[in-house]
């Protein structure tokens, strides 16, 4: 498969899934009415009929947002696993999830006049830079960065728990639901925010993806090629932190996708980042969309997608560990 001409077909996965899940929903729609209405709306500005409004205002933004967030988290996970030479690293290692959670608690519990998305975004970005600063003061190595992320995350989660303890129960429920992750409130502005992060954050990373293979080597080997390992890591981490923070701010905390998708992609195309990164982005988008579709169709309730990704991800990751054993970088 790693040299198969079917490799480009992997990137059609999110496209095919999108066209399929558009037909799934709690409300049935008449597509022979929807399509002409959408056409008239796009070209003449005619008001949408109710069925077309369901597709345009609810289903389509949700589908696209799931694709963008899944692509962002999976691409970040693949890059970080390669950069840190650690198969258990995910995009939230830098404390982005803890920072966003703290921002959510601040917004709901103490500053209700400010939107959850805005405060979560600011806190996530600030947290990432604090982690980078602490790691730099400790020597700037990979281990220092990981430990800094763990320390800052633990501190922020403690503050989040303290806020949940003191606020009224109704606000605690809002915080907890947001932390579970969901696309239930997806709209076009949220999609623009996450899409902006995906484009701006991953454009530099994709352009330098051939250099990302070098980051899996030691610092001496990189310096022998006339490159600065530290500078490359900082550029990549800043880009990924920005993209992930924007994604988390509109979706909440959704785990496992950024961890397991790179492993799936690695078994299909190998560890070369020139193929691994685009494949992880495509498969992550498709996996997130599949999880969200299950979340909104399995029961009469709209389940938080974070629950579904955990239920799917944990056992599948156990399978990957048993299959790969100690050779996750082979091939």
Asked if 86 and 143 count as a contact pair (C-beta separation under 8 A), the reply is no
**Cα dist. 4→8, 158, 268, 315 in Å?**
9, 48, 10, 28
Q: What is the mean pLDDT of residues 189-201?
A: 95
Q: Is the pLDDT of residue 91 over 90?
A: no
pLDDT band at 186 (very low <50, low <70, confident <90, very high): very high
Q: Could you tell me if 252 and 36 are in contact, meaning their C-beta atoms sit under 8 angstroms apart?
A: no
What pLDDT does 208 receive? 87
Whole-angstrom distance, CA of residue 73 vs CA of residue 285: 9
The pLDDT-based confidence of 324 (bands split at 50, 70, 90) is low
* Residue pair 288/69 in contact by the 8 Å Cβ criterion: yes
CA 251, CA 194: separation in Å to the nearest integer? 9
Question: 49-60 pLDDT, tens per residue?
Answer: 888 888 899 999
Q: Looking at residue 69, what is its pLDDT? A: 97
Of all residues in the chain, the percent with pLDDT exceeding 90 is 50
Query: What's residue 329's pLDDT?
Result: 46
Q: What's the CA gap between 317 and 32, in Å, rounded? A: 42
Per-residue pLDDT tens digits for 131-155 = 989 988 887 777 888 899 999 999 9
Question: Which stretch of DSSP H or E encloses residue 240?
Answer: helix 229-251
pLDDT digit string, tens, across residues 20-54? 888 777 776 777 788 888 888 888 888 888 888 88
- Residue 5 confidence class, pLDDT cut points 50, 70, 90: low
DSSP 263-291: HHHHHHH-S-HHHHHHHHHHHHHHHHHHH
Predicted pLDDT of residue 44: 85
Collapsing DSSP states into helix, strand and coil, what is residue 224? helix
Residue 330: is its pLDDT beyond 60?
Answer: no
The contacts found for 306-312 with CB under 8 angstroms, 24 or more apart, are 306/179, 306/180, 306/181, 306/182, 306/252, 306/253, 306/254, 306/255, 307/180, 309/181, 309/254, 309/255, 309/256, 309/257, 310/255, 310/256, 312/256
pLDDT digits (tens, 9 = 90+) for 254-277: 999 999 999 999 988 988 999 999
User: In this predicted model, which residue has the larger pLDDT, 207 or 7?
Assistant: 207
302: left (phi > 0), else alpha (psi -120 to 50), else beta?
Answer: beta
Mean pLDDT of the chain: 87
Q: How far apart are CA 111 and CA 106, in angstroms?
A: 6
Per the structure block, which two tokens stand in for 151?
A: 């320390």
User: So what's the pLDDT on residue 325?
Assistant: 58
Does the structure show a pLDDT above 60 at 62?
Answer: yes
Are the C-beta atoms of residues 207 and 81 closer than 8 Å to each other? Answer: no
Mean pLDDT, to the nearest integer, of 300-305? Answer: 88
Non-local (6+) Cβ contacts of 294 within 8 A are: 303, 308
* Cα–Cα distance for residue pair 284/90, rounded to 1 Å: 13
Between CA 292 and CA 286, with CA 120 as vertex, the angle to 5 degrees is 25
CB 164 within 8 A of CB 172: yes
Say whether pLDDT at 127 is over 60: yes
pLDDT of residue 331: 43
Q: Note the pLDDT tens digit of each residue in 100-115.
A: 999 999 999 999 999 8
What is d(CA 237, CA 14) in angstroms, rounded to the nearest whole number? 26
* Of residues 116 and 214, more confidently modeled: 116
Please tell me the predicted confidence (pLDDT) of residue 29: 75
The pTM of this model reads 0.90
Lowest mean pLDDT among 7-21, 96-110, 137-151, 310-324: 310-324
How far is residue 259's CA from residue 4's CA, in Å, rounded to a whole number? 25
23 Cα distance to chain centroid: 24
Is a pLDDT exceeding 80 seen at residue 183?
yes
Beta strands in 13-107 (DSSP E): none
For each of the domains in the chain, give its residue range(s) and CATH number, in order of start: 89-252 (1.10.3470.10), 254-322 (no CATH)
Is residue 130 pLDDT above 90, yes or no?
A: yes
Model confidence at 214, in pLDDT bands (50, 70, 90)?
confident
Query: How far apart are alpha carbons 204 and 230 in whole angstroms?
Result: 16
Number of CB atoms found within 10 A of residue 3's CB? 7
Q: Which residue has the higher pLDDT, 180 or 46?
A: 180
All residues at 6 or more sequence positions from 269 whose CB lies less than 8 Å from its CB, including other chains:
1, 2, 7, 10, 275, 276, 279
Residue whose C-alpha is closest to residue 178's, from 240, 245, 97: 97
More confident residue, 40 or 195: 195
Mean pLDDT of 160-179: 93
Whose tokens are 């996530």? That residue is: 124
In three-state secondary structure terms, 45 is coil
Q: How far is CA 292 from CA 12, 136, 178, 298, 329, in A?
A: 18, 38, 15, 10, 30
């Amino acid at each position: 498969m790693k040299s198969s001409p079917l490799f480009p077909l992997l990137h059609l996965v999110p496209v095919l899934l999108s066209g399929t899940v558009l037909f799934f929903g709690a409300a049935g729609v008449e597509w022979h009415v929807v399509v002409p209405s959408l056409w008239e709306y796009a070209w003449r500005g005619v008001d949408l009929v109710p069925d077309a409004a369901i597709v345009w205002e609810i289903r389509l933004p949700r589908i696209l947002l799931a694709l963008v967030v899944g692509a962002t988290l999976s691409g970040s996970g693949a890059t970080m696993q390669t950069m840190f030479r650690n198969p258990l690293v995910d995009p939230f290692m830098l404390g982005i999830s803890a920072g966003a959670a703290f921002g959510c608690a601040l917004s709901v519990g103490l500053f209700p006049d400010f939107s959850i998305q805005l405060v979560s975004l600011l806190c996530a970005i600030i947290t990432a830079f604090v982690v980078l600063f602490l790691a730099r003061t400790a020597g700037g190595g990979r281990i220092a960065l990981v430990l800094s992320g763990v320390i800052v995350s633990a501190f922020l989660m403690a503050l989040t728990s303290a806020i949940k303890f003191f606020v009224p129960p109704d606000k605690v429920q809002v915080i907890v639901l947001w932390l579970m992750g969901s696309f239930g409130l997806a709209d076009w502005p949220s999609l623009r925010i996450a899409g902006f992060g995906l484009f701006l954050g991953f454009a530099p990373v994709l352009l330098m993806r051939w250099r990302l293979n070098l980051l899996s080597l030691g610092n001496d080997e990189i310096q022998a090629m006339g490159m600065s390992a530290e500078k490359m890591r900082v550029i990549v981490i800043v880009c990924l932190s920005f993209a992930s923070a924007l994604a988390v701010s509109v979706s909440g905390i959704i785990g496992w996708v950024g961890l397991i998708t790179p492993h799936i992609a690695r078994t299909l195309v190998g560890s070369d980042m020139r193929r691994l990164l685009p494949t992880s982005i495509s498969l992550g988008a498709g996996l997130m969309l599949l999880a969200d579709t299950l979340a909104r169709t399995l029961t009469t309730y709209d389940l938080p997608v974070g629950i579904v990704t955990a239920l799917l991800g944990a056992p599948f990751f156990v399978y990957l560990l048993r299959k790969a054993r100690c050779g996750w970088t082979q091939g």
